Amino acid sequence: MLKNKRALVTGSTSGIGLAIARALADAGADVILNGLGDPATIAVLREELGATYNGANLMDSGAIAEMMGEIGPVDILVNNAGMQHVAAIEDFPPEKWDAILALNLSAAFHTTRLAVPGMKAKGWGRIINTASAHSQVASPFKSAYVAAKHGLAGFTKTIALELATHGITANCISPGYVWTPLVENQIPDTMAARGMTREAVMNDVLLAKQPTKSFIQPEDVAALAVFLCGDAARGITGANYAIDGGWTAE
């Protein structure tokens, strides 16, 4: 279905991005991996997916420009890399605010502005931004993340309108809680910020948000991304797809 399509998936060495990269490769795309991690593990992933890899640090706009120059035109761009930090606003470290805005929001601006000319030249493109339920609703102690994800949703709508007549779609996928390192790593800070045990954080903070009372599977998010890359999704642009077990329905 995606034969001869080149797909860059940022933050694809782990979690949701890796599941999307696997699903796009299964659908026939040539995948370019990006993300941090142990070189030996990344070499195994490259082999498994028949993929290339660029390890640019996406908090650095110069490194993004270098990466986009090195990899050349892409047909599919999945802006997925992201990070979280959990702290009360008065304790929120300014450097964490800057890092989260750079990675979760500004990186998508830079990759997109550099990918769009190639997509316009072909008259075809798919831009998928991994946003979050936090692009639509807030939770306490996540000021930077919620601000970045709301910004990403607005950015996506804007480029969808700009690119609508060029055969290029731009959409957000907004998962609820997916069991990945990003979620696991926020448990200790959430325990500290809220004075809770690990079990209480899991049940009363994380799964409390999701009426289904279960985590979303990365593979399910990936299946939605593949659908958005297909011909049947050519009329879907500027949308923000919740895959959140009913969280944002409340």
Note whether 8 binds ligand NAD by CB under 6 A: no
8/178 with CB nearer ligand NAD: 178
Report phi then psi at 77, rounded to 5: -125, 120
Q: Do residues 220 and 180 touch, judged by C-beta distance below 8 A?
A: no
Amino acid (one-letter) located at 5: K
Please report how close the Cβ of residue 118 comes to ligand NAD at its closest, in angstroms: 21
Residues 156-175 contacting ligand NAD, CB under 6 A: 175
The interface region with ligand NAD, picked from 22-30, 55-63, 89-97, 187-195 by CB under 6 A, is 55-63
Structure-token match 């797909």, residue found: 7
Note whether 59 binds ligand NAD by CB under 6 A: yes
122/198 with CB nearer ligand NAD: 198
Sign of CA dihedral 108, 183, 153, 13: positive
Find, among 222, 225, 220, the residue nearest to 76 by Cα: 225
Please report how close the Cβ of residue 104 comes to ligand NAD at its closest, in angstroms: 6
11/125 with CB nearer ligand NAD: 11
Find, among 126, 182, 174, the residue nearest to 150 by Cα: 174
Q: Kindly state the helix (H) or strand (E) to which residue 129 belongs, with its residue range.
A: strand 125-130
**Exactly one of 35, 125, 151, 245 binds ligand NAD (CB under 6 A); which one?**
35
30/53 with CB nearer ligand NAD: 53
Note whether 71 binds ligand NAD by CB under 6 A: no
The Cα–Cα gap between 89 and 53 comes to 37
Find, among 137, 120, 123, the residue nearest to 240 by Cα: 137
Any idea which residues carry the catalytic annotation?
Answer: 145
Question: Residue numbers of the site for ligand NAD (CB under 6 A)?
Answer: 11-17, 34-37, 57-59, 80-83, 103-104, 130, 132, 175, 177-178, 180-183
